[in-house]
Amino acid sequence: GLEVGGSPNHRVPAVSHMLWLRVGAIDDPQGKSGIAHYHEHMMYDGTPRYPSGEYANIINAAGGQQNAFTGHDATAYYIDIAKDRLPLAMSLEANRLGPLAPTDADAAKEKEVIIEERRQRIENNPTALFSEQMAASLYRNHAYQRPVIGWMHEMQGLTKEDVLKFHRTWYHPNNAILILSGDITAAEARPLVERYYGELPRVPVSARQWGDEPPQNAARNLTMRHANIQQPVWSRVYMAPSLAYGDKEQALPLLLLSQLLGGGKTSKLYRLLVVDKKIASAVDVSYDLFTLGPSEFEITLTPEADI
């Protein structure tokens, strides 16, 4: 059930092995926000075959690089490695789709890591704190209202068993997509994928339950004050369709509009507000058309200090 895609590029004898799982922060169970991100960290804390830390040690010793990230919609793990070491990378990654075997000490250590990550990235960052509040206000029912990293009070209650249950629920080959890019062809990739991933069992995976959005009938206004804010910032966010949600035909026009309005120093809003009227020092317009759920069209500007 594993889906496989590729993008050949033969300029360098190396391959990027990227395994995407159809699970992300929007799949965190109610009351356990942050579990998808916590699980991503604990994927490096051992299996019955490889003790904690061995995965990274083996990749590093082979001259490769590896990392991972958790988003709202998906979680991805990548290994960049020399072509002749690709079988090693596949063996290690396929092994992690089987059972995990973290110790209690591993689980406690990683929980402290993610809590400290939240302190550094969110708690000490007024912009990030405000973005969380805006998302929580914008989305009335969809799981996008929860931060990817999780709410602090819920992160503190996560357990090793929560992680293992999450793994058993979502981490199966039929819920994954493998992307191979670099010095490899489909004919070379097929026997490797069949050898290392082919024996992993297909396991039924439940449909993802995110909650849909009710009609947006009222505007919300938020104001936040923080001792660390040196310069005021103004933002306006609109819920918008994406290529996968809502009026999909509007996604590409919205992407074009975001660039026309705020895609650099030649954009309409930059020239109007920064160059001509000189009432702002910075303007940005952002829009992501690749979300699985509703997207956001956001205008942000920094007013001049004396305005």
DSSP symbol at 171: -
Residues β-bridged to residue 69: 76
- For residue 277, the Cα-to-chain-centroid distance in whole angstroms is 38
State the Cα–Cα distance between residues 129 and 124, nearest whole angstrom. 8
State the Cα–Cα distance between residues 265 and 284, nearest whole angstrom. 10
- Residue 262 Cα distances to 141, 237, 254, 265, 294, angstroms: 29, 14, 12, 8, 21
State the Cα–Cα distance between residues 27 and 208, nearest whole angstrom. 7
Percent helix / strand / coil, the chain, rounded to 5: 40, 20, 40
| 40 in catalytic set | yes
In order, the DSSP letters of 235-260 are: EEEEEE--SSSSSGGGHHHHHHHHHH
> Of residues 3, 40, 54, 304, which has the active-site annotation?
40
Answer whether 291's CB lies under 8 Å from 246's CB: no
Write the CB contacts of 235 (distance below 8 Å, at least 6 apart in sequence): 130, 134, 298, 299, 300, 301
Catalytic positions? 40
